Structure 1
Amino acid sequence: MAEADERTSLLTRRVSVIPPEEPRWIKCRYVFCVMSFLGFVNVYAMRVNLSVAIVAMVNNTAISPNSTYNNDTCPNLEPVPSNSTHNNGDGPFNWDPEEQGLILGAFFYGYVLTQIPGGRLAELWGGKWLYGTGVLITSILTLLTPAAANTGVGMFTAVRIMEGLGEGVTFPAMHAMLSKWAPPNERSRLSGWVYCGASLGTVLSMPASGYMCDTYGWESVFYLFGLLGIVWFLFWAWIVADSPNSHPTISRGEKEYIAKCIGPAHSDKSPPVPWRHILTSVPVWALIFTHIAQAWGHYTLLTELPTFMKNILHFNIMDDAFVSAVPYLLYFIVSILFSPVADIIIDHRIMARSATRKLFNSLGFCLPAIFLVLAGYSGCDVDSTIAFLALAGGLNAFQYGGFMSTHLDMSPNFAGTLLGITNAFANLTGFLAPAFTGYIINQEQDLGHWRFVFFVASIVYFSGNMIYIGFGSIKEQPWNNIHNRTNSQEPASAQQEEGWRGGENGEVQPPTLTYIQIQTSYTRSYDPLSGASELDID
């Protein structure tokens, strides 16, 4: 009992070095969070509007006379009655399913190329201008999309590739910025809130695109979202800073709070990337395969759901867009409500950080896998199909408390580069998944072929989660500070034996018997300055 009291007293003295935050209604890290959230709203609005617009752009009558329909389809279904009159005429382009798959996937040819450079440049030079410029370039190219489409498939594909080059830096740059702005005990919620802008962008873009196509023509979709992206960039350039240290109006209390919480795990100067250690790390490769599995399931729904709704369930363009947005509305709600839950579980020591990450990842992968299978076998029962697909898309948001926070846990110094690596591999599925779907359903528009597409996505989800559970790790990796340790006069192991480093003004805290006992009871990831959220029970 006395030992426990002594341990509690010691922890109290350690934590007391954190200065209290000044009472401000609006904290700069939350302003950064809101602006980043709105940035991803624009990013995904410009990315997915083509998924809806292409339904209005293609002349299906001209390309489908040889399509095969059998009894395993829903030829006369009227799923959503409407009193309004919709423009259901065919579009001007005779693109077959394989060409449509190429166009939908072209974005990702460029997207994967700038992932790793984007992450590293953000670590070296800061993410503000890199992230903002990426969105600005994509916005300008979105405005040029109608002219490119009317020029020909080649020009249209080239513009989509260039849009991918611009957007490719956004996620790695944001992860690099989060590593500077997000205290460890807020990582799940801040990353979840920032990235759920992607789902809200999808929710807003799909029905808005359907309405615009139906009312003003497909060209208007690209003009609207391109203009909104440029307006967002102006506010981003004015309000946001690269880090707390460079923010002109941040309070001293908030700046010191963030710095103390993040501690020495994040260096002010980005060291050289330890490529050999990263590329030979088993947890990194587990993260890569997990991210690939996530992306395959995600892009199968994102790019192909409007086509499934129209060709199999026979929704018109307006209803198609609204229903296709339902999974992402649920995704947004789950992100907002449940991302903080992971932090709460860790903060209150209900579960260790590792167990919490793997629990949330399992929920975000296995539940969607189950509902995709159920959707494939729900036949022409429209209500059940929509419900299962909505749950498959929405519950995937649990992943923000899972593998999507793991990059920050493993390596705050190289979080941008690490996400760039995993996202580059993952987004190969951005063109592979549409191409695979186009190959499977080409001139075979029936439930059986779509059922196979959903079943494959389900298997990929299950496999990715098993890899993460078996080989994933949330512990800060030795190579995160390898250059600091190399330059030190004594090895890291000796430093750890002497005691905890990083007290006020950076002095070395004297070793104590009680602290050494805590070190043997808990993992090294516990940092008293970052709160109980850093405690992982061995």
Structure 2
Amino acid sequence: MDPPKMFKDDKSGCLKFDRITIINKRFTLSFLMNIGFTIMFCGITLSHVNRCLMSSIDPADRSFFHASSYLLGLVIIQIPAAWCSLKFSPITWFGRSILLYSILLFVLALFSFFVEFRSYGLLVAYKFTEGVVSGTTFVVFHAAWKNWTPSNERSTFVTFAIGGCFLGDLLGELLSKYCSELLYWEYLSGLLGITGIVWWLLWKNMVYETPEKHRTITEKEYNKIYPSIQQELDITENVTCKKIIFSMPFLVLVVVNLLRSWNSAFYLYRKEHMYIILIIKAVTFPIAGYLADVLVRQTSMTITRVRKLYISGIFLIEVIYFLLLRYCEEFDGWLYFSSFVMQVLHIAAFTAASVNALDIAPSHAGVTIAIINIISHIGYQVPFKIELYLYENNWLDTFNFISIMAHLIGGIIYGIYGSAKPITVKKL
């Protein structure tokens, strides 16, 4: 355990802009992570299909292989990134990942003559690199919070930071809509790259690995979070990865993330309403996380019960929704509107599942989220393939039945075996 932090009254030697960080150091960390994710996912969205880069490639050469290369890069980097999160500073590596991606964007703008060659292979290689960098960022992001959030505040700060992913998607969609009308779209890439480099300069000077190392954290904030965080880390840091992987809470979380992929029936909204859905995601994610912590602090509900309310409760509501879709011949106005409500609930359940990976193994959060990401991203491809096959054979009712059973089973399993208690080593 680190020694107690000694506070001094005189802080005149501190960097000036480090003293004006917003509200407290935990929110500063979450806010900067949110901006970092926004920059990254805005760039990723811009380079997906029908985006800026694709506008320069001959339509005959286009395919979805570049999207698959992004997924491949994201998946294969998970285990190395998890190892990195255990051996090195995840805070440092998060900043480096955003910096690397920002440099990649700037270089892409600087050498935009690549696009003039109309080379689809270069786009595939670029997307693969994006997948590697973003996959690393997401793993070390989860690991970085072990020293900064007590369990009763974890949802608030983690979900606010991840909300930047959805905000980046929204900005990327809006910017890509006008790419063909821009004389030089590479200006967008260069501007994002420069913004990311400026972000890294702020990150390097305003963020520290632990509260103990932070030079300007107040004594009040330090005493509020440090004892509970250290107590939680002390009982979990000696847990082996093998014990975590084969523990019941982790296996249940993996199953839940797989079963929640059977949700394509939510997408009833029209294409022109896509921006509304992106706004819903960007707003709902942090609010749902904040409300979860409010329930823990203001009521008698434990963290485990709140997670079960979000995951099991919403899964069962989704079962009812699927049943309504199954027996409604046409989409009435209220049913179409309900699809937006279900998106809100679906995102709320996603917040609980995301934070639960930190709940059960705060010292090894990079490992838990890496394995979940691998299984989830591969598993998500299965329902779409099955739905396509069943649709071609006019067996769509079968897919709806599978979706109902998947959410019903997922809700029941997590309600019985799900937990937010940290996995610990039993004392002899």
Does TM-score exceed 0.5, indicating one fold?
A: yes
Which whole-Å CA distance do the structure 2 matches of 1:369 and 1:230 have between them?
A: 45
Residue pair 2:26, 2:149 contacting (<8 A) in 1 also: yes
Shift in Å at residue 378 of structure 1? 8.9
Which whole-Å CA distance do the structure 2 matches of 1:185 and 1:218 have between them?
A: 44
Residue pair 2:47, 2:54 contacting (<8 A) in 1 also: no
Kindly provide the amino acid, as one letter, of the partner of residue 421 in structure 2: K
Cα pair distance change 1:157/1:166, threshold 3 Å: same
The answer as to 2:240 corresponding to 1:274 is: yes
Which whole-Å CA distance do the structure 1 matches of 2:403 and 2:68 have between them?
A: 17
State TM-score, norm by structure 2: 0.78
Which whole-Å CA distance do the structure 1 matches of 2:189 and 2:324 have between them?
A: 35
**2:33 maps to which residue?**
36
Which whole-Å CA distance do the structure 1 matches of 2:412 and 2:68 have between them?
A: 27
Which whole-Å CA distance do the structure 2 matches of 1:264 and 1:55 have between them?
A: 49
Cα pair distance change 1:377/1:217, threshold 3 Å: farther
Match of 1:471 among 412, 417, 420: 417
Aligned residue runs from structure 1 range 60-459, under 5 A:
92-94=58-60, 99-100=63-64, 102-143=65-106, 144=108, 147=114, 150-216=117-183, 222-267=189-234, 271=237, 274-294=240-260, 296=261, 320=272, 323-365=273-315, 367=317, 387-399=337-349, 402-429=352-379
Which whole-Å CA distance do the structure 1 matches of 2:400 and 2:53 have between them?
A: 24
The 3-state SS of whatever aligns with 2:23 is coil
Cα pair distance change 1:275/1:178, threshold 3 Å: closer
Kindly provide the amino acid, as one letter, of the partner of residue 176 in structure 1: A
Residue pair 2:52, 2:176 contacting (<8 A) in 1 also: no
Residue pair 1:104, 1:434 contacting (<8 A) in 2 also: no
Kindly provide the amino acid, as one letter, of the partner of residue 40 in structure 1: F
Which whole-Å CA distance do the structure 1 matches of 2:188 and 2:334 have between them?
A: 30
Residue pair 2:40, 2:168 contacting (<8 A) in 1 also: yes
Shift in Å at residue 227 of structure 1? 4.1
Shift in Å at residue 245 of structure 1? 1.8
Which whole-Å CA distance do the structure 1 matches of 2:36 and 2:174 have between them?
A: 19
Which whole-Å CA distance do the structure 1 matches of 2:223 and 2:414 have between them?
A: 35
The 3-state SS of whatever aligns with 2:60 is coil
The 3-state SS of whatever aligns with 1:242 is coil
Shift in Å at residue 399 of structure 1? 2.4
| Identical residues among aligned pairs (%) | 22
TM-superposition CA deviations, 1:29-79 (whole Å, max 9, x none): 111111111122223223333446349937xxxxxxxxxxxxxxxxxxxxx
Shift in Å at residue 261 of structure 1? 2.0
Please say which structure displays the higher CA radius of gyration: 1
Shift in Å at residue 404 of structure 1? 2.1
State TM-score, norm by structure 1: 0.63
Residue pair 2:77, 2:136 contacting (<8 A) in 1 also: yes
Shift in Å at residue 134 of structure 1? 1.7
The 3-state SS of whatever aligns with 1:428 is helix
**1:511 maps to which residue?**
none
Kindly provide the amino acid, as one letter, of the partner of residue 44 in structure 1: F
Residue pair 2:359, 2:421 contacting (<8 A) in 1 also: yes
Cα pair distance change 1:427/1:235, threshold 3 Å: farther
Which whole-Å CA distance do the structure 2 matches of 1:208 and 1:57 have between them?
A: 14
Residue pair 1:46, 1:142 contacting (<8 A) in 2 also: yes
The 3-state SS of whatever aligns with 1:94 is helix
Which whole-Å CA distance do the structure 1 matches of 2:384 and 2:192 have between them?
A: 23
Which whole-Å CA distance do the structure 1 matches of 2:30 and 2:78 have between them?
A: 21
**2:15 maps to which residue?**
none
Which whole-Å CA distance do the structure 1 matches of 2:384 and 2:35 have between them?
A: 27
TM-superposition CA deviations, 1:10-31 (whole Å, max 9, x none): xxxxxxxxxxxx9x97211111
**1:45 maps to which residue?**
42
Residue pair 1:149, 1:155 contacting (<8 A) in 2 also: no
Structure 1 unpaired stretches of 5+: 1-21, 59-89, 483-491, 494-538
Kindly provide the amino acid, as one letter, of the partner of residue 150 in structure 2: P
The number of residues matched between the two structures is 406
Residue pair 1:191, 1:400 contacting (<8 A) in 2 also: no
Shift in Å at residue 168 of structure 1? 0.9
Kindly provide the amino acid, as one letter, of the partner of residue 279 in structure 1: I
Residue pair 1:407, 1:419 contacting (<8 A) in 2 also: yes
The 3-state SS of whatever aligns with 2:58 is coil
Shift in Å at residue 429 of structure 1? 4.4
Deviates more, 1:105-114 or 1:213-222: 213-222
Cα pair distance change 1:167/1:186, threshold 3 Å: same
Shift in Å at residue 291 of structure 1? 2.5
Residue pair 1:369, 1:392 contacting (<8 A) in 2 also: no
Residue pair 1:42, 1:225 contacting (<8 A) in 2 also: yes
Shift in Å at residue 384 of structure 1? 7.0
Residue pair 2:357, 2:369 contacting (<8 A) in 1 also: yes
Which whole-Å CA distance do the structure 2 matches of 1:230 and 1:373 have between them?
A: 49
Q: CA RMSD in A?
A: 4.2
Residue pair 1:213, 1:220 contacting (<8 A) in 2 also: no
Kindly provide the amino acid, as one letter, of the partner of residue 333 in structure 1: V
